[in-house]
Amino acid sequence: MRVISGDYKGRRLKAVPGTNTRPTTDKVKESMFNIIGPYFDGGWALDLFAGTGGLGIEALSRGIERAVFLDTDYKAIATVRENVGALQLEKRSEIYKNDARRALDALAAREIQFELVFLDPPYKLTHLYEEIIEKMDALHLLNDGALIVAEHDADLELAENFGRIERFRYAKYGEIAISFYAVEQTTEKTGMGTNE
């Protein structure tokens, strides 16, 4: 695994030991960022179920100002810390070992709002997609126009929208799929296109 583009292009990232995590492949990551960016001008990113931290680190490399990494697995958190440290991104990163739902409450208490969210829970926990997306919106954690990138099993059909959060793109890569959502802007259109 490596950083695909931006300030840290080509830098290698360590994988989480064992088989409990499935890192997003470089090919899928590159396609993903071509759809959502590919570059950013500041803002906050949230990497839920972060695994290696590769998606949040890629966002930092491409111009996101600050990223929050969350996972419940000790080995994953240790790997995120190692990868963030290797790129000297500690000052732009927050890394927490915590349940996603409890962490969202803590972030909301700080009145943080995100421009970009990566959501990739374990495939068996399919109920978490709807629960977490709706909770982020209810807690006002998402800026107008924010993007949510949900990676899931290709056999799982996610909703077209969650209230004001609407899917604008769906992409399938073998056994996995990615649903791309945008938060409705109250002042102007997102310009991100329509559902496919």
- Six token digits for residue 160: 């077209």
* 147 residue type, one letter: L
What pLDDT does residue 38 have?
A: 86
Percent of the chain predicted with pLDDT > 70: 92
CA separation for the pair 61, 184 (Å, rounded): 26
Q: Are the C-beta atoms of 11 and 33 separated by less than 8 Å?
A: no
Q: Is the per-residue pLDDT at 196 higher than 90?
A: no
User: Strand (E) positions, the chain?
Assistant: 44-48, 66-71, 93-97, 114-119, 142-153, 161-162, 165-173, 176-183
What pLDDT does residue 19 have?
A: 58
Q: Angle, nearest 10°, between helix axes 127-138 and 100-109?
A: 10
Distances (CA, A) of 14 to 31, 53, 93, 100, 112: 21, 9, 17, 23, 29
What pLDDT does residue 194 have?
A: 38
* Pairing, β 161-162 against β 142-153: unpaired
What 3-state DSSP class applies to 35? helix
pLDDT for 132-184, tens place per residue?
999 999 999 999 999 999 999 999 999 999 999 999 999 999 999 999 999 99
Q: Are the C-beta atoms of 99 and 73 separated by less than 8 Å?
A: no
What domains does the chain contain, in order, with CATH numbers?
A: 26-183 (3.40.50.150)
CB atoms inside a 10 Å sphere around CB 114: 22
What pLDDT does residue 20 have?
A: 64
pLDDT for 13-45, tens place per residue?
999 987 566 678 888 999 999 999 889 999 999
